[in-house]
Structure 1
Amino acid sequence: MHRKTLLSAAIVSCLAFGAHAQEAQPQATDLDTITVTGIRGSMEKSLDTKREANSRVEVVTAEDVGKLPAHNVADTLQRLPGVNISSSSADEGGFDEADRVSLRGTSPSLTQTLINGHSVGSADWFVLSQGNNVGRSVSYTLLPSELVSSVEVNKSSQAKLQDGGTTGTVNIITRKPLEFANQITAEASVGLVRSDQAESNDPQLSGLFNYKNDDGTFGVMVQAFSQKRELRREAQEIPGGFFQIGATDPVAATNPDLVGVWAPGLLGSTLFEQTRERKGGLLSLQFKPSDTLTLGVEGFTSKMDANNYNRNFMMWGGHFANSQAPDAGYVVKDGVLTDAKYTGVAGTDYAVYDMIYREATAKSSYVTLDADWQVTDNLSAKFQAGSTKGEGSTPRQFIAEVTLANGGGASWSTHGNGSPIDWNVGGDLTPAGVTSFGTWGNQQVTAEDKEKWFTADFSQYFNDGTLSSIDFGARYADHKREALSPEGASPGDIWSALQNGATSPYPGGFASNIGGDFPRNLWYFTPGALKDAVVNNSTWLSDDDGPNGRHNYGAEWKVQEKNFSAYVQANFIGDSWSGNVGLRYVNIDQDIMSYQSVSDVANADVTSLFAQGPGPDPCGWGCPVWGGWKIVNTSNKHSRILPSANIKFDMADNLVFRFAASQTQTLPDFSALGASSWGSDLNKTGGGGNPHLKPILSTNFDANLEWYFMPRGLLSIGAYSMNLKDYVAFGTETQMLFSELTHQLEPYNVSVPVNSDGKVTGVEFVYEQPLGDNFGITTNYTYADGSTSHTWADGSNNLTGTSKNTYNVGAYFENDTFGARVGYTYRSKFLIGLSGANPYYQDEFGTLSVALSYKVNDHLSFSLDALNLNDPTYKYYQSASIPTAFYSNGRQYYFNARVKF
């Protein structure tokens, strides 16, 4: 490891930022060659880059990604100050792998993720994230850490940075062929992952080959990965949260004291299993026809097959608690029916059981063409054209929904939001006890995310004076996000084939980690039995069925945005200070298409009718007919000038002060703009979009003091504020939607996005210090105070995604052959959004991870990464008295052997 000089560190920083900021720097062929390896070297490199930058930035280098206990980029970034992660994007609940990244106590949709400075098409495997809940964040499950050279988190804005990140931008930088030191480089990693709870061992493979010629004028790099992992999540879920007993409900006549009281609509014992197989790679070529021109082509693809089976055996409180009086002795506390017992009534089903097996995939890809041209000694230019596509698809769903516990009665007892609910139902809970069968079919769902763009960026350098350079350029992008539900199957007599199908039991010790007393000794139809019964007893439609086929127009929408932007930025340098000031002009044209449910099918633009299958009622509850729809088209135009300024003072050789001010903009989530209204017949709640939403404009201020008291040593403290104009929150309203059960329009309580205002203020603290030659500690803490002018249904003014307290504590040891790193990450509670019509929150959680490595020689090394060692339970709740979910995912152990030539 070689210590960099201050000048060489500055050049490395400039080169790193040039990958995404379109800056070409003057050539510096006489500088020392820089070689940085290991945990200590990578930390030093990251701090040097951070120190020399004019803006507020956090940096993770490739050695950090390889050495930290993390296997996608999001898991690595959570250890940076001001960075939060979440493991889901919709209502799928918490998993063991990070999937979304957000900054400074805001939602992931306000953080922009780029690769090499350009957009990347995003895709999700979960069906709700493919249609009803689609944000602007990028799914990190498709981005393995092996692809990364470095990651930059820009916390303050600059005019030259691509617009779209209200709270900041994450830029993932890949390796380039001509950057490798050797003419030929080959690396391979072979390993396995042990998923403790799933009791599974699965392969993890990746490889890299790079070649560049002797002259350094041509290079080609190929990377590939193939990784499989089994997941098993054990949980208690309360889908949709609690509901309020109304004054017109039948129970109000006998028990008027229950009017307005909250009761559980559904209480579930939930088993989720999934196989994730991620395959893909990256191809990069560079060619230098002259010393002043470099041409590049890069292509990336990643596909994850994510077939999953979710079983949720539920007490159906919404079916009886609003009509049947509880036995004497029930308890109401803080407006919640906390303890209740119901004696069984013949003819009443007290349980409903959903078994949903889905085939699912998520894909992401891009292709870019680059040209870097040193036009003159003082003028550089960079051009890029590219396209990207993300696709999430659920081509088949095999669904059984049955009712049980006829006349068996039910009971529950709550213990606040920190403990699972004790609940039980009586009666026959075996397959023989099924009283009715239903399915909402096998509807195909596909989400497409596409963008084509062109950028032209220029830098004019000046040899004398305070003005060191001017950056200017323009960008045009055409982006389309579309949710498709093209067709499904008309279900026939599935139950006759399924009722005697193969079954399996819930795993032994199911959900023992989360506690609580609720049904665990349960059964389910095997995936094969469920799939065979559905496929063999359904009429699968084709394109020939036309507009009268079983086409769910209510699940479809499209948002298309054409974005033109131009910028100019002046960069200054003086005696012990530097900075920049700039303006970015943004002009956006939006075209939004969605559907509205109508009662008069004869005057509808499209219909979703189909012929019912054989028999009087082959589906058990009536085959669904999705009715008629009106097409709704909306066009919006948005233009704005976004100013930014950054200044850095070198108050001493090792003391830096920064200040930044800017305005940034993010468009509302795609589904918030486009989603057609939809409803759930189980609890009469739903959601929808609002095409008239305005963009979110944030006015930002940032100040930070950094003391680099020794190599790899940093003590810093900073403060920030963001005033969010037209922040998007969610209200509720009653809408008439088509019921699949009654085949007519009925009232639903629908959550609808609305513009509001919000603000976030906070403080960040960082302390990093080596202890001797081999040891070191890293700590950081972030405080965020967020609020919105919108009042949620629970009376709060919380900002989505705001955790007041986030901290990371870590320690490392490294010598020439052995390395070890341990880290603990904590995040306090935060508002996720709406579940049905009710706000819901994720409770505080912390994760403990350890990474060990052993270097045999320069060509062979081994590593063992242990994640979620404390086996955290992810808790979700509606209020202090009402929980909504408890998830246990278990621990994961990754063992890898790495070979390098």
Structure 2
Amino acid sequence: MDACEPARRNDRMRLYSTASMAALLMAWTVPAAAQSSDNSQTPAEQSGTVPPSGDAGTASPQGSGAATDTEAADIVVTGVRASLSTAQGIKRNASQIVDSIVAEDIGKLPDRNVAEALQRITGVQIQRSFGEGSSVAIRGLSQVRTEVNGRDVFTASGGRTLSLEDVPSELLAGIDVYKNPSADLIEGGIGGLINLRTRKPFDFNGLKMSASATANYYDLRDTTTPQANLLISNRWNTGIGEIGLLVDLAYQKTAFRQDQISSQPFFRLDPATELGAATLAGLGRTGQETFLPHGVGIGQYLGDRRRIGVDVALQWKPTDTLLLTGEYVRSDYKFQYGDYSFFAFTGDTPITPDFTAPFTYDADGNFRSGTFVNVPINSNTSLERRKSVTSDYSLNARWTPTDRLTINGDFQYIRGTTDGQRSIVILNSNAERLFQQVGSGVPTMIITPDNDPTNGDGLLLNPANYAVPGGYLDNVSRSVGKQYTGRLDVNYEFDTGFLKSIAAGVRYTDRSAVSDNSIYAYYGLTETPYALLEPRIFGGDLYRGYRGIPEGVIAFNRNIVLDYDATRNALAPFVGAEQRQALLNGVTYAPNDRNTQGENTYTAYGLVKFGADDLSIPIDGNVGVRVVKTKVSTAGFSAQTPQAQTGVDPATGLPIFGNGPISFVPLGADSDYTKALPSLNLRFRFTPQLQLRLAASKALTRPDFTALNPNINIVENNPGGGLRTATTGNANLRPLTADQLDASLEYYFARTGSVYGAVFYKKVDGFIANITSTETFNFGNGPFTVDVTRPLNGDNGKIKGFEVGGNTFFDFLPGVLSGFGVQANFTYVDSKAPSPDAQDTTGAQLTVPLEQLSKYSYNLVGIYDKGPLSARVAYNWRSKYVVTTRGNGSGNLPIFNDARGQVDASITYTVTPNFGLTVDGINLTNTENRTYYGIASRPQSAVLNDRRVSITARFTY
């Protein structure tokens, strides 16, 4: 395989997609003229749904906002058209700027993963983890609030939001993304708010049943996994009123394989040092800027995910004015991989070139190819696991004593747990000769012995060459989060006049978070466990047959590593006696491994809705303010290790110092702050089809609990004589706040036809960055100074940009051609924010965009929906972005992700009104993901993931 071919294929796809989008936007005027909207209907009737205003904020017990069986009975719309129609109606009629995705059928969002479904929405960009979407940013900001049915939801891992890869998408009726909120929506996301909507029994007329079964095939992993969903719902008239019960169960088992080839960071050869000058001379580069990588490596990750989702909803309507809803939502997520990684690298230590071999460079002095000698090797076999369970219990009462007055009471208890584990068995060897090549293609890694340049595999597959004992790294973590929430909302509507309604509400939360995270315990092996080793033969299979890597290596047995207890028991005979019992017992937590947080919020809001239909340009909107007081308490420990005399040097008679006994000193801090968050939303309806929205608001995002962690580890003894260093959190961090301005022009020319354009501006205050400063500590023989790195609120940042998009079906075409349609959107986001962590190879500060932000992104989706056949082909593309301003092991360089595009597709055939078959595929273009250090000529990694093909049978009654 030509290593450059995937990149060229992606470039061709981007050019084709860009040209297609341009042609599409020009052609939209044709269907706009050819398709007529039924102006006799209200926008809600055209969409087939009447979503309650502020549904996410009021946790409406009516639930999903999706069309019920009786709505829009005069016009029946099904399939993809129905989902687009409902989503368009929500956007058109909402009180705020909102975009939605709606399941066209029970258990059938357009994508199986919630994050991957969100990437189709204008302004949303996703991050991927081992081939699946895992997290999102809205308009360049990753500080996004997540909700289920308008209530808090989180994954207990030190953050504040739900990990979107945890939830089976089959549980959802739809997803709403609010980009500029109103005062009745819960605060917490300067990027935006994502509300996941489940179904309720009163969404259906009576008995409803749905079941689906899926087989997923993953081509790199070469395995097939199951997936299933079952929903049963019914409602009954009884002597005590109407009662409805819904049970929705979802199960997913997925697999993945990720192949990776990585270069180590590039370091500048410094002519001012003796070693740097000598190396430059040996390479014939004296007087020329030269950058060398410090090694290269390969990795193969083999893993599985398992999701179980449960949604049980009970509704009771004892009278026409009272509706009670109780619901239990649970997500149970397991993630695991065992990987082989094989690195020849020197870390921060200089690498030694073979001066007799040829070297090549680009015009800026960046290494392209060459040979190095005596490079240390690590052959690692590892295990990583995460298990997260979130249980959400809620009770809602909605009372409408009159046609004008609605009183809504809501109570929620949510509990989340996350257990994590990471363990690595390390073998050591040496590369006598390492040939490395980088550039626009995949990095090359060829290792050979000095005496036989053709027999690298003989070296790497000989266990005797791994005689230097390695080690074992072990880390465990556990987080528990709990929250109690109560809220009361009152809404009063007026019959006539400019004032339409007044709403007010109060909300209280009591949240606690306890996280234990052990240090990485290291156990040095006293000898190599040869009996536990195995050859790992890649056999030309790694990276889809790429040949510029070793044929195979020796590694620790992966089957043992996948069993945590078995690994420790197997390695116990190979560690020192003083470490053996600790290894057998497993990692324990020290007092300063625990981070304890408590948080209470007290919120009140007022919202006024208004409108004037008799003006030349009808106008409506809302204005309000949300006031929230937050009280935070943190608790932890300072681990203080004094210097102590451990002996006397027999040669000099001088004392020898080491570490004395550790003392754990309690730490604690309380803080509080009050913020007023005003908002204004206006809509001007120029015609029944054309409307302009203007919005202004202030939003906040609270710091993650991990950033508030006060724990710190201080060691007085300083044998190296350099700077003492320590890292900690900051219990006094204040929230990020954003002043937001939005304008959106929307034209709805048909039930499933619209175009829109939006501009936005955000001024963010208090971006959090890690800052290092010198602090004085006084214990032991102190005082002494330490360079402490802790998060601080930094300067302001600005985000601005625009969005354009739309969707239509070509109904003006004849016959079967009228089933074709298209969706498209494009987003431009520009940011300016401080990045004190970003440095170049000389230590100079770099200016980089916000992390995870692509300046350009777009979606192009071709649709067909006619008769029993429904199909989609979707291309999603985003430009380069900063992964991190200072990557682990990157030599303080920022790491960029290169531009990336991916094609997904699905086709459904409805065999009968109650039975359908779907075939879909993910990553059909076999897209590579590439990263680089600072500039594209210094590649970091090239990654390939599975292509997935699935077959689903779905029954609905």
- Give the distance between the partners of 2:344 and 2:819, measured in 1 at CA: 56
Is 1:534 matched with 2:568? yes
- Give the distance between the partners of 1:556 and 1:268, measured in 2 at CA: 35
Give the C-alpha shift of residue 262 in structure 1.
Answer: 5.0
Give the TM-score normalised by structure 2: 0.80
Give the C-alpha shift of residue 470 in structure 1.
Answer: 1.1
Task: Spell out, residue by residue over 1:275-331, the C-alpha distance to the aligned partner (whole angstroms, 9 max, x if none).
Answer: 212223111111112111111111122222222112210012226525788667656
Find the counterpart in structure 2 of residue 611 from structure 1: none
Give the C-alpha shift of residue 97 in structure 1.
Answer: 1.2
Is 1:642 matched with 2:677? yes
Q: Which of these residues, 244, 256, 263, is aligned with residue 219 of structure 1?
A: 244
Q: Which of these residues, 117, 121, 146, is aligned with residue 113 of structure 1?
A: 146
1:121 partner letter: F
Structure 2 runs not aligned, ≥5 long: 1-36, 281-285, 450-458, 573-578, 646-658, 715-719, 778-783, 812-817, 841-845
Find the counterpart in structure 2 of residue 56 from structure 1: 97
- Give the distance between the partners of 1:601 and 1:581, measured in 2 at CA: 62
Find the counterpart in structure 1 of residue 481 from structure 2: 449
Q: Which of these residues, 211, 214, 220, is aligned with residue 191 of structure 1?
A: 214
Alignment of 1:526-675 (within 5 A): 526-530=557-561, 531=563, 532-538=566-572, 550-552=588-590, 555-575=593-613, 576-596=618-638, 598-600=640-642, 630-674=665-709
- Give the distance between the partners of 2:730 and 2:741, measured in 1 at CA: 30
Find the counterpart in structure 2 of residue 282 from structure 1: 311
- 1:494–1:17: structure 2 CA closer, same or farther, 3 Å change rule? farther
Alignment of 1:333-344 (within 5 A): 334=364, 336-344=366-374
- Give the distance between the partners of 2:108 and 2:393, measured in 1 at CA: 29
- Give the distance between the partners of 1:514 and 1:698, measured in 2 at CA: 49
Q: Which moved more, 1:386-395 or 1:575-584?
A: 386-395
- 1:789–1:867: structure 2 CA closer, same or farther, 3 Å change rule? same
The 8 Å contact of residues 270 and 311 in structure 1, kept in 2 or not, is answered as yes
Give the C-alpha shift of residue 855 in structure 1.
Answer: 0.9
Give the C-alpha shift of residue 53 in structure 1.
Answer: 1.6
Is 1:873 matched with 2:928? yes
Alignment of 1:763-782 (within 5 A): 763-772=802-811, 773-782=818-827
- Give the distance between the partners of 2:196 and 2:247, measured in 1 at CA: 17
Find the counterpart in structure 1 of residue 297 from structure 2: 268
- 1:343–1:733: structure 2 CA closer, same or farther, 3 Å change rule? farther
Find the counterpart in structure 1 of residue 392 from structure 2: 366
Structure 1 runs not aligned, ≥5 long: 89-94, 124-129, 604-623, 738-744
Is 1:393 matched with 2:415? no
The 8 Å contact of residues 171 and 250 in structure 2, kept in 1 or not, is answered as no
Q: Pairwise CA RMSD of aligned residues?
A: 3.8
Task: Spell out, residue by residue over 1:233-284, the C-alpha distance to the aligned partner (whole angstroms, 9 max, x if none).
Answer: 1001347x44566799873473476999654345220010112122231111
- 1:677–1:798: structure 2 CA closer, same or farther, 3 Å change rule? farther
- Give the distance between the partners of 1:206 and 1:223, measured in 2 at CA: 7
Find the counterpart in structure 1 of residue 956 from structure 2: 900
The 8 Å contact of residues 100 and 138 in structure 1, kept in 2 or not, is answered as no
Give the C-alpha shift of residue 153 in structure 1.
Answer: 0.8
Give the C-alpha shift of residue 403 in structure 1.
Answer: 1.4
Find the counterpart in structure 2 of residue 609 from structure 1: none
Give the C-alpha shift of residue 51 in structure 1.
Answer: 1.1
1:897 partner letter: A
Q: Which of these residues, 126, 132, 140, is aligned with residue 164 of structure 2?
A: 140
- Give the distance between the partners of 1:448 and 1:14, measured in 2 at CA: 35
- 1:405–1:300: structure 2 CA closer, same or farther, 3 Å change rule? same
Q: Which of these residues, 752, 756, 771, is aligned with residue 712 of structure 1?
A: 752
Which SS does the other structure have where 1:432 is aligned?
Answer: helix
- 1:24–1:220: structure 2 CA closer, same or farther, 3 Å change rule? closer
- 1:893–1:564: structure 2 CA closer, same or farther, 3 Å change rule? same
Task: Spell out, residue by residue over 1:659-689, the C-alpha distance to the aligned partner (whole angstroms, 9 max, x if none).
Answer: 000110001233233275799x9xx999653
Give the C-alpha shift of residue 464 in structure 1.
Answer: 2.4
The 8 Å contact of residues 494 and 533 in structure 1, kept in 2 or not, is answered as no
Which SS does the other structure have where 1:534 is aligned?
Answer: helix
Give the C-alpha shift of residue 878 in structure 1.
Answer: 1.7
Q: Which moved more, 1:435-444 or 1:451-460?
A: 435-444
- Give the distance between the partners of 1:64 and 1:139, measured in 2 at CA: 24
Find the counterpart in structure 2 of residue 150 from structure 1: 174
The 8 Å contact of residues 555 and 678 in structure 1, kept in 2 or not, is answered as no
Give the C-alpha shift of residue 67 in structure 1.
Answer: 5.7
The 8 Å contact of residues 300 and 339 in structure 2, kept in 1 or not, is answered as yes
Compare relative contact order (CA 8 Å, sep 6+) and give the higher one, 1 or 2. 1
The 8 Å contact of residues 765 and 782 in structure 1, kept in 2 or not, is answered as yes
- Give the distance between the partners of 2:279 and 2:583, measured in 1 at CA: 54
Task: Spell out, residue by residue over 1:474-495, the C-alpha distance to the aligned partner (whole angstroms, 9 max, x if none).
Answer: 1111223332136998958685
Q: Which has the larger radius of gyration?
A: 2
- 1:320–1:725: structure 2 CA closer, same or farther, 3 Å change rule? closer
1:463 partner letter: D
The 8 Å contact of residues 350 and 409 in structure 1, kept in 2 or not, is answered as no
- 1:398–1:103: structure 2 CA closer, same or farther, 3 Å change rule? closer
Is 1:231 matched with 2:259? no
- Give the distance between the partners of 2:93 and 2:248, measured in 1 at CA: 31
- Give the distance between the partners of 1:861 and 1:374, measured in 2 at CA: 41
Q: Which moved more, 1:504-513 or 1:813-822?
A: 504-513
- Give the distance between the partners of 1:226 and 1:103, measured in 2 at CA: 29
Task: Spell out, residue by residue over 1:612-631, the C-alpha distance to the aligned partner (whole angstroms, 9 max, x if none).
Answer: xxxxxxxxxxxx99966554
The 8 Å contact of residues 267 and 316 in structure 1, kept in 2 or not, is answered as yes
Find the counterpart in structure 1 of residue 136 from structure 2: 101
Aligned residues: 839
1:788 partner letter: A
Alignment of 1:427-442 (within 5 A): 427=449, 428-430=459-461, 431-442=463-474
Which SS does the other structure have where 1:98 is aligned?
Answer: strand
1:777 partner letter: V
Q: Which of these residues, 827, 832, 839, is aligned with residue 894 of structure 2?
A: 839
Give the C-alpha shift of residue 842 in structure 1.
Answer: 1.4
2:311 partner letter: L
- Give the distance between the partners of 2:839 and 2:520, measured in 1 at CA: 36
- Give the distance between the partners of 2:131 and 2:905, measured in 1 at CA: 15
Find the counterpart in structure 1 of residue 444 from structure 2: 422
Find the counterpart in structure 1 of residue 938 from structure 2: 882
The 8 Å contact of residues 415 and 482 in structure 2, kept in 1 or not, is answered as yes
Find the counterpart in structure 1 of residue 328 from structure 2: 299
The 8 Å contact of residues 121 and 365 in structure 1, kept in 2 or not, is answered as no
Find the counterpart in structure 1 of residue 278 from structure 2: 254
Give the C-alpha shift of residue 581 in structure 1.
Answer: 0.5
Give the TM-score normalised by structure 1: 0.85
- Give the distance between the partners of 1:717 and 1:832, measured in 2 at CA: 28
- Give the distance between the partners of 1:696 and 1:261, measured in 2 at CA: 41
The 8 Å contact of residues 168 and 252 in structure 2, kept in 1 or not, is answered as no
- Give the distance between the partners of 1:390 and 1:663, measured in 2 at CA: 29
Is 1:509 matched with 2:511? no
Identity %: 25
Alignment of 1:677-692 (within 5 A): 688-692=728-732
- Give the distance between the partners of 2:437 and 2:785, measured in 1 at CA: 32
Which SS does the other structure have where 2:550 is aligned?
Answer: coil
Give the C-alpha shift of residue 98 in structure 1.
Answer: 0.7
Give the C-alpha shift of residue 102 in structure 1.
Answer: 1.5
Find the counterpart in structure 1 of residue 4 from structure 2: none
Give the C-alpha shift of residue 645 in structure 1.
Answer: 0.2
- 1:307–1:277: structure 2 CA closer, same or farther, 3 Å change rule? same
Task: Spell out, residue by residue over 1:375-402, the C-alpha distance to the aligned partner (whole angstroms, 9 max, x if none).
Answer: 333221111111223322125x442112
- 1:694–1:337: structure 2 CA closer, same or farther, 3 Å change rule? farther
Give the C-alpha shift of residue 882 in structure 1.
Answer: 1.9
Give the C-alpha shift of residue 602 in structure 1.
Answer: 8.5
